[in-house]
Structure 1
Amino acid sequence: MAKKRRKLTQCPNCGYTFDDTNNYCPNCGQENHDLNVPVKHLIAEFLEGTLHFDTKVWKTLKYLILKPGLLSEKFNIGQRASYVPPFRLYVFVSLIFFFVLALTTKSTVQLQSTKGDKPVAALPGMTINANLADSLALAADSAKLEKLEEVAAAAEEMKALKTNIIQDERATLVAEKFSKFISNSEGSKQKLLKNISFMMFLLMPFFAWLLNLFYRKQGRNYVEHLMFSIHLHTFYFILLIISMLAGHYLPVPDLSGVVIGIMILYLFLALHRVYKQSYVRTLLRLIPIGFTYLITLAFFLVSTVFMSVLLS
């Protein structure tokens, strides 16, 4: 779709007089396009420039939602011009997802206050200077040897006590950071959303690597697996957007089971279409791929929350 330009007769940047064919100023390079228009025109142009917001985007979304794996298949065989580029579509949908997530979620964790002072270390750190090897060599009688053994035992006890104190101090520090993270619910939520978006960005190439591992005998390029991963996660974002909006604004029961079922079914159908294997072989691939993906996703989520708390 060609961009609809509102051309000027003279360049406002350098004063060059335009010809009718000038889309850019030959003198300074500025675009010959008047932006002094109502906001709705600017929004329309943003969507057009970002997604080519015409029949292309509707066709892309229709295939993405209703025909699992078809967009990845068309990308792999070179049919790309008729559809929104995968990464551009992912960025746009992910922005909507995190906006809806911030809009529909509220902090439900409350810190239970307890009476009493904060736990403090019972003893300061200490070191023991005792050269037991030299002492044992000099201990000639049993009385001295027994005394040194008592000192050594006491030293071990003090060392264990010191280790426990350090661990308690670290636990106290983590608890304080968690308390601070929970108390600042709005700021913590924004930080967590930012970190989760970065985590998902890292998860896509990992999932592509996972596909490359399980389908290495097909000799496909890594980019093909990456496009599959991008399309898959874009669909997952769309599905989560719909479920979050439905759960927030409509009196519907918990949709978690339905969403997980649709995710698994979509992945199964997409793998079958793109990698051209029978339903049985696709299922045998789906089980380890899905299990590994879920384990990795859980690890990434826990790590993201933990890092968000520590850096708060």
Structure 2
Amino acid sequence: MKEKGRFLKKYRGNECLNCGVPLDIIDRYCHNCGQINTTKKLSFKDFFNEFFASIFSYDSRLRHTIIGLLFRPGMISKDYIEGRRIKYANPFRFYLSVSILFFIVSGLFIDFDTIIDQKNDQNNELLRVDLPNQKKKNTVEINDSIPESDNNEDDDYVYFSEKQLDTMNMFTAVNKRWKTYKSHYKKTDQLSASTALDSLKHAKNGYTKYLYRRSIRTKNLNENPMELLKFVFNKLPFIIFFFLPFFALTIWIIYIRRPFNYMEHLVFIFHTQTMFFILMGIAILFDQITKSEVASSIAMFIFLFYLYKAMRNFYQQRRAKTIVKFLLVNILFFILASVGSLITIIGSMFIF
């Protein structure tokens, strides 16, 4: 490598400026702490030359990792678990960086407000179509039926006192308390749980405050379900990261007869998932340019082929056996993703 800037021999010292270890004129770096051996004062040009060199140089970890992921499916994971790691970025940290970048980019292009407006327009259109029949139905109900006190809780104010709730079993009491809080919020728009509980003359503790806040959230969620979608989407990087170890466990079971431990399967998962984010991130940018979803569909097929090649190269099994396990992996991933999505949505409703 051609020496220039602060790397020139005329700037090298006899000891490390960082740790004081004696150095020779041929030492470009300190063999104790790794700092560059130079006495030249840092200039603006040197600073940015070194910055860009660390990114684009031939022996850069980032460069080798990206090239390995793109053109050597599965082999980068094989190199890493066999000890050839110095030229590659850490799979865990690289996955986190790429996933966060992917969700930032995708978040910029997903317009939740447009989705909400489209949903509202569809609902309004359905309402206009059904309005004559609905009016007729309502007229019949008013003339031909007698409303009951417990029915139509959205139209009538529902109230149960603390004394009444104490006489009910646990499940009934929770249900009636929930209806009371929803009804009170609808009537008063009171956001403060403490103020609302004082008005209702209910016990003011952590449980009742939580239940009142949940009733508000549920009402707002019914009016604008996209808010939950926004909340879940913002948490997706952490949700996916949490479920990847479980997916690695399923692959470990599938390949239990192969000489790989759990962490080696996890390295493979991190690399393939990182590649998925890279492909889909590029596809999203193309979709925005072309105003279509063709690139995303193509990227999905490319990734499936990439996953097959990665499994074949990493696990070193015959083509037929790899195809069977490839199909099994995708089925198990779909099942795990469905269960994970359900748990995520249910959990999000409690913490949203």
TM-score of the superposition, structure 2-length normalised?
0.60
- The structure-2 alpha-carbon separation of the partners of 1:288 and 1:248, relative to structure 1 and needing over 3 Å to count, comes to same
2:259 matched residue in structure 1: 219
Q: 1:182-233 CA deviation, whole Å, 9 max, x = no partner?
A: 5869xx74x5444111112112222211111111111311111011000011
- The structure-2 alpha-carbon separation of the partners of 1:46 and 1:233, relative to structure 1 and needing over 3 Å to count, comes to farther
Note if contact 2:287-2:296 (Cα within 8 Å) is conserved in structure 1: no
SS in structure 1 of the partner of residue 298 of structure 2: helix
Query: Is 1:175 aligned to 2:214, yes or no?
Result: no
Query: Is 1:301 aligned to 2:304, yes or no?
Result: no
| In structure 2, distance between residues paired with 1:59 and 1:159 | 61
| In structure 1, distance between residues paired with 2:226 and 2:344 | 18
Which sits farther off after the overlay, 100-109 or 294-303?
A: 294-303
- Residue 264 (structure 1) shift: 2.1
Query: Is 1:234 aligned to 2:282, yes or no?
Result: no
| In structure 2, distance between residues paired with 1:268 and 1:183 | 36
- The structure-2 alpha-carbon separation of the partners of 1:67 and 1:174, relative to structure 1 and needing over 3 Å to count, comes to same
- The structure-2 alpha-carbon separation of the partners of 1:58 and 1:302, relative to structure 1 and needing over 3 Å to count, comes to same
- The structure-2 alpha-carbon separation of the partners of 1:47 and 1:174, relative to structure 1 and needing over 3 Å to count, comes to farther
Q: Of the candidates 53, 57, 63, which is equivalent to residue 54 of structure 1?
A: 57
Report the residue type matching 1:45 in the other structure: F
What is the alpha-carbon root mean square deviation over aligned residues?
Answer: 4.3
Note if contact 1:70-1:274 (Cα within 8 Å) is conserved in structure 2: yes
- In the TM superposition, 1:1-312 aligns within 5 A as 21-24=15-18, 26=20, 37=44, 41=48, 45=51, 48=54, 53-55=56-58, 56=60, 57-107=62-112, 108-110=115-117, 112=120, 118=154, 122=158, 124=160, 126=164, 165=176, 173=216, 175-178=218-221, 189=230, 191-312=231-352
Relative contact order (C-alpha < 8 Å, sep 6+): which is higher?
1
SS in structure 1 of the partner of residue 257 of structure 2: helix
- The structure-2 alpha-carbon separation of the partners of 1:80 and 1:163, relative to structure 1 and needing over 3 Å to count, comes to closer
Which sits farther off after the overlay, 97-106 or 18-27?
A: 18-27
2:24 matched residue in structure 1: none
| In structure 1, distance between residues paired with 2:52 and 2:57 | 12
SS in structure 2 of the partner of residue 218 of structure 1: coil
SS in structure 1 of the partner of residue 116 of structure 2: coil
Q: 1:92-149 CA deviation, whole Å, 9 max, x = no partner?
A: 22232122112111101247599x99566745274697xxxxxxxxxxxxxxxxxxxx
Report the residue type matching 2:76 in the other structure: L
| In structure 1, distance between residues paired with 2:274 and 2:344 | 20
Report the identity percentage: 22
| In structure 1, distance between residues paired with 2:323 and 2:106 | 32
Report the residue type matching 1:124 in the other structure: F
Report the residue type matching 1:275 in the other structure: Y
Report the residue type matching 1:257 in the other structure: S
| In structure 1, distance between residues paired with 2:41 and 2:156 | 66
TM-score of the superposition, structure 1-length normalised?
0.66
SS in structure 2 of the partner of residue 109 of structure 1: helix
Work out the number of aligned pairs and report it. 265
SS in structure 1 of the partner of residue 65 of structure 2: helix
Report the residue type matching 2:57 in the other structure: D
Note if contact 2:102-2:281 (Cα within 8 Å) is conserved in structure 1: yes
- Residue 290 (structure 1) shift: 0.9
Report the residue type matching 1:95 in the other structure: I
| In structure 2, distance between residues paired with 1:45 and 1:181 | 47
Structure 1 unaligned blocks of 5 or more: 8-17, 130-154
| In structure 2, distance between residues paired with 1:284 and 1:214 | 11
SS in structure 2 of the partner of residue 277 of structure 1: coil
2:137 matched residue in structure 1: none
Note if contact 2:248-2:265 (Cα within 8 Å) is conserved in structure 1: yes
Note if contact 1:196-1:304 (Cα within 8 Å) is conserved in structure 2: no
Structure 2 unaligned blocks of 5 or more: 22-32, 125-151, 183-210
Report the residue type matching 1:79 in the other structure: R
- The structure-2 alpha-carbon separation of the partners of 1:221 and 1:103, relative to structure 1 and needing over 3 Å to count, comes to same
